[in-house]
Every structure is written in C-alpha cells, then in structure tokens.
C-alpha cells in the first residue's frame, strides 16, 4: 500500500513506508497549505516545473533533509546551483530509483523562475510524472492543458491514481480535465490546483459531475487528507 496526502494546491506527499516523496512542495505562502515546510521529512522531491507555486520550498527542504530533487534537466541544474543534490531527467525518460521508478511525461505549460530582482530564468520544459512505487502507479500531471497523447500513458502504465489540475486559466478546467480522465483511465482521480486563489475558478463539483469513465472513482480531498492506494 501507498499513502498519498494532499498538502494543498499541487503539493502531494507520498509515503510507501520505506520511502517518503513530496511533489511540488509549495507550502510557504500557500493559503491552502496543510503543513509547514519544517514539518516535512522526505527522501526525494519531484518538481514538475520552475514556477514559484510548484518549486516552493523544494530547495530548503532538500538541503535540510539531504533529499534528492528529481526534475527536468534545466530545472535540476538550477537546483544544483542552489546547493541541492539532483537527479536530472527529461521528457520520455525513465529512471529506476530505490523507491521504484519515475517516468517524465510532457506537459503543456511554461517553466521559469522569477528572481527577487525580477529577472526571469528559463528552466526548460515542464513535465508530469508517472511514479511507480510499491507496485502502484501515480500520475501527477503538473500544470498542463489537455493533450491527446495522454492516451498513450495508460498503454504503458495502469494508473492507480491520477492527480489532475482543474483550476482553469493557467491549466485545464473541469471540462478539459474530465476529457483527460477519459484518456488516462485511472482507477482514482483527485483534482488539484484549484481554489488556491480567486483566479483559479475551476469548480470541483462540475468536475465530479462530468466524470462518467467506467472504472474511475473521483476522490475530492481537503488539504491534509490522505488516501491509501
């Protein structure tokens, strides 16, 4: 079994018993955050792209916990320059880790870090992750719009859980995310990246109402709640 906890926005904590992973640990400054960054203990940190609401506290957590950051190449290099241990990957690549396996999918979005002086640093392509851990497959889509090649993901991975943005404006909205479910065929889908700020208007009730994919269960979580898969 694997325990997956929503920490708010797009941040999730995955606990297999032997390994602890966190994805997109935006906690400081996140009005929906369920924990503070100082409460996190983890072995690996996965970052989908360079925007501040996804990188979040990753570098500080990585250095405090001696955790490795897994990210697309350019973002991983930036993290390395900040003093972090990294595992560089890119779209389409798969790497075996002690916890299992990570596979990078494409995501249609941007990826950059805005420094304190306003300078924008491009951090390569954004990604999604398919994480295989304890025999379970978890797809974290990152920030993305709907794309047809999502249909290829379940040809290789039987998804036990899909974590999909529904907030609209910057990512898929409820209607597009519902189409994504039809392509991905996950056993469970959890909506994310909505309601953090007023701009993220995607309605979780509308998303739930639109899901009629056979074999897929919608689980609407509150920050701090977890599920076992």
pLDDT digits (tens, 9 = 90+) for 95-148: 999 999 999 999 999 999 999 999 999 999 999 999 999 999 999 999 999 999
How many angstroms separate the CA atoms of 227 and 35, rounded?
17
226, part of any domain: no
Crossing angle of helices 58-65 and 73-81, rounded to 10°: 60
**What per-residue confidence (pLDDT) applies to 64?**
98
228, part of any domain: no
> β-pairing, 68-72 with 217-218?
unpaired
41, part of any domain: yes
**What per-residue confidence (pLDDT) applies to 18?**
98
Is 164 in contact with 190 (CB distance < 8 Å)? Answer: yes
227, part of any domain: no
Q: Which residues pair with 12 in a beta bridge?
A: 6, 23
**What per-residue confidence (pLDDT) applies to 191?**
99
118, part of any domain: yes
Considering only CA atoms, which of 181, 142, 177 is closest in space to residue 159?
Answer: 181
Is 31 in contact with 126 (CB distance < 8 Å)? Answer: no
Q: How many CB atoms lie within 10 A of CB 64?
A: 14
What CATH number corresponds to the domain at position 197? 3.60.15.10
**What per-residue confidence (pLDDT) applies to 119?**
95
Total structural domains in the chain?
Answer: 1
Is 94 in contact with 102 (CB distance < 8 Å)? Answer: yes
**What per-residue confidence (pLDDT) applies to 70?**
99
How many angstroms separate the CA atoms of 142 and 54, rounded?
9
Residues 6+ apart with CB under 8 A from 111: 49, 50, 51, 72, 74, 75, 122, 123, 124, 125, 126
> How far are the Cα atoms of 45, 80, 127, 179 from residue 73, in angstroms, in the given order?
14, 10, 11, 30
Residues 6+ apart with CB under 8 A from 74: 111, 122, 123, 124, 125
Dihedral (CA of 178, 183, 187, 192) sign: negative
Count of CA atoms in the C-beta half-sphere (13 A) of 175:
1
**Residues of the chain below pLDDT 70:** none
The secondary structure of residue 147, as a DSSP letter, is -
- Domain coverage including residue 65: 3-221
Is 210 in contact with 178 (CB distance < 8 Å)? Answer: yes
**What per-residue confidence (pLDDT) applies to 58?**
98
**What per-residue confidence (pLDDT) applies to 105?**
98
229, part of any domain: no
For 131, the token pair is: 């994480």
Q: Terminus-to-terminus CA distance in the chain, angstroms?
A: 6
């Amino acid at each position: 079994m694997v325990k997956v906890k929503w920490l708010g926005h797009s941040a999730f904590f995955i606990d297999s018993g032997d390994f602890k992973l966190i994805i997109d640990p935006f906690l400081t400054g996140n009005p929906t955050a369920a924990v503070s960054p100082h409460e996190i203990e983890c072995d690996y940190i996965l970052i989908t792209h360079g925007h501040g609401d996804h990188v979040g506290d990753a570098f500080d957590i990585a250095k405090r916990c001696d955790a490795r950051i897994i990210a697309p190449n350019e973002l991983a290099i930036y993290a390395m320059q900040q003093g972090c241990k990294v595992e560089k990957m890119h779209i389409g690549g798969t790497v075996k880790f002690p916890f299992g396996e990570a596979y990078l999918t494409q995501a249609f979005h941007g990826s950059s870090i805005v420094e304190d002086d306003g300078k924008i640093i491009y951090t390569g392509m954004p990604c999604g992750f398919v994480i295989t851990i304890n025999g379970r497959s978890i797809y974290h889509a990152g920030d993305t719009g709907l794309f047809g090649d999502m249909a290829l993901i379940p040809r290789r991975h039987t998804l036990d859980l899909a974590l999909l943005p529904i907030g609209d404006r910057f990512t898929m909205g409820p209607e597009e995310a519902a189409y994504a479910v039809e392509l991905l065929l996950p056993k469970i889908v959890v909506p994310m990246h909505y309601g953090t700020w007023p701009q993220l208007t995607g309605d979780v009730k509308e998303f739930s109402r639109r899901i009629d994919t056979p074999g897929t269960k919608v689980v609407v979580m509150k920050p701090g709640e977890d599920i076992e898969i």
